[in-house]
Every structure is written in C-alpha cells, then in structure tokens.
Amino acid sequence: MKDLWQNPRVKRIGAIMLIAVLVTVMTGPEGNGAEPTAGFTGSFAAQASFFGIFTVQRWIVFSLLTLIVVGAIALAKFVHRSWNDRAHRGGSDASAMSTRTPLRRRLDMKSSRYVFYVIVLVLAIFLPHVITDNSWQTQIVQQILVYILLAIGLNVVTGFAGLLDLGFVAFYAIGAYTTAWVTGALPTPPPFHMQFNTFFAIPFAIALAMLCGVLIGLPTLRLRGDYLAIVTLGFGEIIYLFANNLFGITGGATGTREIPFLSIHLGSLKYLWGLNPVPYYYLTLGFVVLFLIIFSSLEHSRVGRAWVAIREDEIAAESLGINPLKYKVMAFAIGAASAGFAGVITASQTLFVTPPTFTLQFSINILVLVIFGGMGSIIGVVLGGLFIQIFVVYLEHSPPSGYNSQDLYMYLGALLVVMMIFRPAGLFPSRRRRREIDQIEAGTAPDAVLTDVGPHNRVQEEMS
Amino acid sequence: MISPLFDVRDVTLRFGGVVSLNKVNLHQSRGEILAIIGPNGAGKTSLFNSLTGVYAPQEGAIVFTNSRGKAISIIGKKPFRVSAAGVARTFQASRMFNAMTTFENVKIGAESHRGLGVVGAMFKGPGTRRDEHRSDIRTKELLEFVGLTQQANAIASTLNYGARRRLEIARGLATAPDVLLLDEPAAGTNPTEKLELVELIRKVRDEMGVSILLIEHDMKLVMSLAERLYVLNFGSVIAEGTPAEIRSNPSVIEAYLGSVDTGVAQEARDA
C-alpha cells in the first residue's frame, strides 16, 4: 500500500484529483450570512451539470474530466512516440547521412505524413458542410483559425527563436487597426487620401506589422530572457494605450467606424465577402495553410537551424558567424506577419475594432496555446490550438449551468498544470525541444556528462 | 616570405580597475602552430576573447590579415564579423548545440556565412537546394576529416569528451577559417584521445592550411605540438620562443614556481 503511494504516477493522479476537488469547491454556489457553509456543501451537491450532460455530483464530474485529460495525454504520448520513432529512422535531417536506411522506408515515412496532411486538409475543406450552424462557423473562423494563425506566428518567435514575447497581441492590433485605416474607418484619413479596396488591407497590414516587428525588435532584442519578456509586455501595453487613448487617430475607447467586408475588384474579377462566414473560413484556411508551409520550410532551413543555434547557445552561434540580432529581428518580423493577417480577418469580419480586444490577457492566451501544444513544434501548436479553442468555443456556445466566463481561465489553468506534470514539453513537442527539456531535467545540459557510461547506450539506441 | 596572420600590438584590457591584459604583443605567421601558456588567471582566455571580438581592449591594436592579404582590425568588431573575416574558435568548456545531432552542429558552421536568404528558405528555391546540398557535402567531408562519421546522427550531448572536442574543431573548420583558435582542446580527454587530438591538429594545419593558435595546460602536448610559444603571467607576456627556449627560460620557471601550479613547471622541464 505504501509502495503504491510512492509511485510517481499515483502521486500525480492524486495531485490532479486534488485539483479537481479544488475546482469543485471554487465553482460551487456563493455562501451567504444565513448559511455560511452553503458555498462548501453546495459545491458538492448534484445540481451542477457541467457541459449540460452530467447530472451527477460535481466532484465526480471534475475527477472524470481530469482522468480523461490524463488519458488523452497518455494517448498523445503513445501516438507521438510511434510517429517519432518512424520519423527518426528515416527523418529528413538524418537523410543526408543515413545510408543504412532503405530508401523505400524513407519514402513510406514521408508519403504517409503527406497523406495524413492531405486528409486533414480535405476534412477542413468539407467542415462547413458538416457544421452548418452560422454562429458556429463564425466561431470557427474567429476563435479557432485566427487563434491558430496567431499561435503559429508566436511559435516562430517563442518556439523557434526562443524569445519570450508577452506583447504579441500588439501585432494583431496593428493588423486590425491597419485594416480600419486603409478602408477609411479611422478618424485619420487613409493612406494617400484614397479609400483602398479592402483586399489591399492584407498586404498593408502584413507589411506594417512586420515593420513594427523590426522597429520594436532592433532595440529590444539585444536583451535576453526575462528582460525581453518585460519589454515586449510594455510594447503590448503601449499599443493598447495608443488604441484606447489616441481618440483623434484610432477612435479611442469607442472603437473604429464600420469596416467594410473584404472584397476583390480586379478587372472582371469581383468578389465580396459578406455576412456568410463560409467564404471567410476558406480565405483564412488558405492563409493558415500558406503560413504553415512557409513556417515549416523555414524551420528546416538554414534560418531555422540558426534560430536553434541561437536559442541553445548564443555565444557559440555568434562565434560561428551567425548574427544573433539579425535572426532574432527576423523571427519577430515573420511572426508579426501572421498576426497582422489575423488582425485583418478579425477586423473585416467583426466590422468594428475596439481596444479591449488587445489586452495582455490575449497575448497570454496565445502563449498558452503554444506552450500547451509544444513549443517549436508546428503540428503540436496547431493541435494544441484546436484542442483548447474547441473547448473554449464549446463553453461559450453552450455553457453549463452556473458557468460564467471568468471560469474559463480556471479550467485552462488546471489543464496547464496537468500538462506540465505529465508532458512538460507540451502535447506534441518537437524532437529538439524535448531533448533540451530532457537534458535540463536529467542535469546533463552542458558539461554535466563527464563519462560516457550512461549516454553511450543512448547513442547506440539513436543510431540503431 | 612569411606572411603575417595575427599582429597584436600593445593590447591592454581592463575590467574596471583590474588589468586583465597589460601591453600584450604577439605575432603569428600564416601556417604556424602557436601556443599560449601561463598559470591560471594569466589572461590567456581574455586574450582569446579579445582576438575573437568578444572583448574590446581599451588600448592597442589587433590586426588580422586574411588569405587575400587584406589587413582587418579586430578591435570593436562583433564576434560574428570576426568569424566572417576568417577566425574560428573553440571554447574552454565545450559549447555545442546539445540538442542537435553532430551533423547539424557542423552544418550550422558550414552555412553560417551565406546571406540571410529568408525568401529562399521560405519557398525552397533551386538556389537554396543547391546551397543545402553543398553544405551537406562539406559537412560530410569535415566529419570524415575529424573521424566522426560514425556518430553523425548522434545527439551532441551524448558524445564523450574527445568526440566533443573533435566536433568543435569540425564546426570551427566548417566556417572555412584562416586560423583556428583552440581553448584548452585537451581538457578532460584521456591519454589516447590526447594523442589523436595532437594528430588531428597537425592534420588541420598540414592538409587544410589552417593556422593554429592554442591555449593548453598539458605541457607534454604543447611542447610536442607548438612551433613557438608565448608565456603569459599576470596579463603580460613574460617570454616567447621555441619549446626548447621556453623550457630553459628562468623567468618562465619562476612564474610557474611562484604560482599554485608548481607541478606544471616540473612537467615543463621534464617534457
């Protein structure tokens, strides 16, 4: 019995159950003077029906939910391991040297991955025919695709280049306000005093977001670690305050005037995006795919390797001729591009832009997606984003009884805690990131390995 | 004619009131294997850091002449620019990219001097593919040169000390340097690995034509490898000459006997 409690897994599950009970108590009804213990006793009563399907006691529901999460993580672990094992035998970065890998298996590996991607893409294309509810479709664009765009952008900055950016929302805001500016929805006149076709907001917003990325990056990216996080936090706040207080330029706290829907008028080609969310869905999906392709080829390029080098050891990278500042600024600008585009979509679909959207909370939400999915792993960030945002949309769409919107962060917080216990590198971590975290955990990060006793076995394991 | 490589004149480096290097003069010719020795805290690594742009000495001049005969002033240049000029280095405590494979470690060196190429990297154009291919070939050659072909796909952190040293040398060589600066390459290696290392360093000079400047504590290794030595003590050069001259130099013996490393002086005479 005592041995059982010493088992780390049992300990972890125990800890999670404790979190579940805590969440139960916190979501219970408020106590009052007449019945001071109502909050406590009520929290264990069977009246709550989380997700509208359970009518059992709340603590059982939460415990079940945590067990489901633990199970999902274990499944992710299993899938990821078998995926990676195969990837490692015929992985792309090993391909240059691995003469022992039969070519066919390598091709199999590659093609099976592509088949998987194509299947996912086809499913995504048919999704609007499956989910035909308009409000759901809008939510899918605004809450899922836009968030995924932002998360893969932040992943370039935080995951690839290792820069903790707490003001990422600023670039999103810049994208949204640029759309308003270009289409003449701001008090300031649009560029060159001509109201641009809304579609031109896209290149404008992306360019301006990237420019701001460079401008904010040049002075601040000389800083490291915590200092950078604080400065980017400040940058996010500055942009928010600009939006909120510069009444004559941004429209202040009341927000912008109405922003027209996206439209194309090029010669005979005319198309107007309207209230129907489906065209927006396809446009955004197209850009998500485009950014995914660009970012993943960046990851496996010279640029991606330079980012990893800087992340792991800046001094060594610099001694090899890599200019850290240049690559960091580049990561900032590239990440900003996708956020700028996300801003265009939000601005033109929701018709108004108001400052309260662009708070620190938003930056942190995006960071949560990146951490949850696995920093530096594009597929992980996409899946993590999907997982969390579907959860969020579901809670918003059909809230359980007694749910109020702030509760969301409590659930997300609990989810993150569980993640950090079981999979500190995220749901689907990139191989490198996982190695880095393993090394830190095992204390074998630089210089700790003096003998070749332990690690040697691992070499053979990796090679075989 | 002997062409110059490094010309260090009256270099003084201070950290606040502490003088780390005091009017150091050093000269290295192209193709030479030069060693810097000295007791702990003598300023050897500070000198290295000054030569590679990590520190900017307050006084003096460091002039590096590259293979095209162009004289380049090092002081005030950032490390990545010094690297681009043709100076590669390794570190005292080896600094590899631990989570990457051996192959990737070297490849990063091989491709670091090309331009940014973001657009090419985004869309994988034919130029980018050609570059990649060239870097792959170069990396393979270098791994073979240092004898790490077998461990090409091993994660760097799993390598033993000797292999790490060789990896760092390969990574430095990948940047196509004129000179390779080695900061205590033999530290932590066993006697067999040491012998292999000496051989490798000679091979680097003889076959690749890369000059070598090294710091080393292992007297046997230094005396057998270096063609000329500088002895540093308290930030100043106290002696300069061939191994035979250094071994019999009274001020060197005094410097070593006067310091904690008494054993080293004994070793220096024995070697």
A413-456 pLDDT per residue, tens: 888 888 887 788 888 887 777 777 777 766 654 433 333 333 33
If one compares A63 and B37, the residue with the highest pLDDT of the two is B37
> A316: distance to nearest CA of chain B, Å?
6
Question: What pLDDT does B228 receive?
Answer: 92
Rounded distance, CA A402 to CA A417, Å? 24
pLDDT of B124-136, one tens digit each? 777 788 888 888 9
Q: Report residue A61's pLDDT band, with 50, 70 and 90 as the boundaries.
A: confident
Q: Report residue A18's pLDDT band, with 50, 70 and 90 as the boundaries.
A: confident
Mean pLDDT across chain B, nearest whole number?
A: 86
Could A463 and B154 be called an inter-chain contact, meaning their C-beta atoms sit closer than 8 Å? yes
* CA A94 to chain CA centroid, nearest Å: 28
Distances (CA, A) of A348 to A23, A344, B95: 38, 6, 49
CB contact A312 to B (< 8 Å): yes
Q: Contact B201/B145 with Cβ under 8 angstroms? A: no
> B142: distance to nearest CA of chain A, Å?
13
Could B94 and A447 be called an inter-chain contact, meaning their C-beta atoms sit closer than 8 Å? yes
Amino acid at A65: L
If one compares B261 and A30, the residue with the highest pLDDT of the two is A30
List, as ranges, residues 87-126 from A with C-beta within 8 Å of B: 93-94, 96-98
- Over residues B172-196, the mean pLDDT reads 89
Could A297 and B122 be called an inter-chain contact, meaning their C-beta atoms sit closer than 8 Å? yes
Best of B108, B150, B179, B181 to disrupt the A interface (most A CBs within 10 Å) is: B108
Domain definitions of chain A by residue range: 131-358, 430-464
Tokens coding A444: 């074998």
Mean pLDDT across chain A, nearest whole number?
A: 79
Question: What pLDDT does A415 receive?
Answer: 82
Nearest to A316 among B95, B123, B136 (CB): B95
Which residues, 6+ apart, have CB-to-CB distance to B257 below 8 Å? Answer: B265
* CB contacts, 8 Å: A439 with chain B: 98-99, 157
Rounded distance, CA A55 to CA A57, Å? 7
B111 to chain A: nearest residue by CA? A302
Cβ-based contacts under 8 A for chains A and B = 161
> Is residue A43 over pLDDT 80?
no
Nearest to A330 among B91, B107, B116 (CB): B116
Nearest to B104 among A305, A436, A447 (CB): A305
Could A298 and B122 be called an inter-chain contact, meaning their C-beta atoms sit closer than 8 Å? yes
H-helix or E-strand containing B192?
helix B191-208
Rounded distance, CA B223 to CA B264, Å? 12
Angle at B43 between CA B40 and CA B44, to 5 degrees: 85
Could A446 and B161 be called an inter-chain contact, meaning their C-beta atoms sit closer than 8 Å? no
CATH architecture group of domain B4-97+179-270? 3-Layer(aba) Sandwich (3.40)
Q: Report residue B210's pLDDT band, with 50, 70 and 90 as the boundaries.
A: very high
Q: Contact B50/B181 with Cβ under 8 angstroms? A: no
Task: Measure the CA dihedral A127/A129/A130/A134, to 10°.
Answer: 90
pLDDT of B35-55, one tens digit each? 999 888 888 899 999 999 999
* CB contacts, 8 Å: B114 with chain A: 302
> Is residue A63 over pLDDT 50?
yes
State the pairing for strand pair B228-233/B33-37.
parallel
ipTM computed for the complex:
0.87
Could A319 and B52 be called an inter-chain contact, meaning their C-beta atoms sit closer than 8 Å? yes
* CB contacts, 8 Å: B136 with chain A: 96
- Residue whose C-alpha is closest to residue B154's, from B164, B139, B145: B164
Tokens coding B130: 């050609």
Q: Contact B255/B249 with Cβ under 8 angstroms? A: no
Could A312 and B80 be called an inter-chain contact, meaning their C-beta atoms sit closer than 8 Å? no
> B232: distance to nearest CA of chain A, Å?
24
A93 to chain B: nearest residue by CA? B104
Could A96 and B112 be called an inter-chain contact, meaning their C-beta atoms sit closer than 8 Å? no
CB contact A224 to B (< 8 Å): no
* CB contacts, 8 Å: A463 with chain B: 153-154
> Is residue A370 over pLDDT 80?
yes
- Over residues B211-236, the mean pLDDT reads 89
Question: What pLDDT does A158 receive?
Answer: 92
List, as ranges, residues 292-311 from A with C-beta within 8 Å of B: 294, 297-298, 301-306, 308-309
- The DSSP symbol for A351 reads S
Domain definitions of chain B by residue range: 4-97+179-270
Nearest to A316 among B91, B107, B120 (CB): B91
Best of A84, A300, A302, A329 to disrupt the B interface (most B CBs within 10 Å) is: A302
- Residue whose C-alpha is closest to residue B147's, from B200, B109, B87: B200
Question: What pLDDT does A306 receive?
Answer: 92
> B253: distance to nearest CA of chain A, Å?
32
Say how many Å lie between the first and final Cα of chain B, rounded. 32
Nearest to B118 among A322, A330, A446 (CB): A330
pLDDT of A100-155, one tens digit each? 455 555 556 667 778 888 888 999 888 888 888 888 888 888 889 999 999 999 99
Could B111 and A302 be called an inter-chain contact, meaning their C-beta atoms sit closer than 8 Å? yes
> Is residue A464 over pLDDT 50?
no
- Over residues A77-88, the mean pLDDT reads 65
Could B103 and A312 be called an inter-chain contact, meaning their C-beta atoms sit closer than 8 Å? no
Question: What pLDDT does A458 receive?
Answer: 35
* CB contacts, 8 Å: A319 with chain B: 52, 79-80, 83, 88-89, 91
CB contact A324 to B (< 8 Å): yes
* CB contacts, 8 Å: A96 with chain B: 103, 136, 139-140
- Over residues B203-220, the mean pLDDT reads 90
Nearest to B93 among A304, A446, A455 (CB): A446
Q: How many CA within 13 A on the CB side of residue A149?
A: 33
> Is residue A37 over pLDDT 70?
yes
Tokens coding A308: 């990893």
- Residue whose C-alpha is closest to residue A180's, from A192, A171, A170, A189: A189
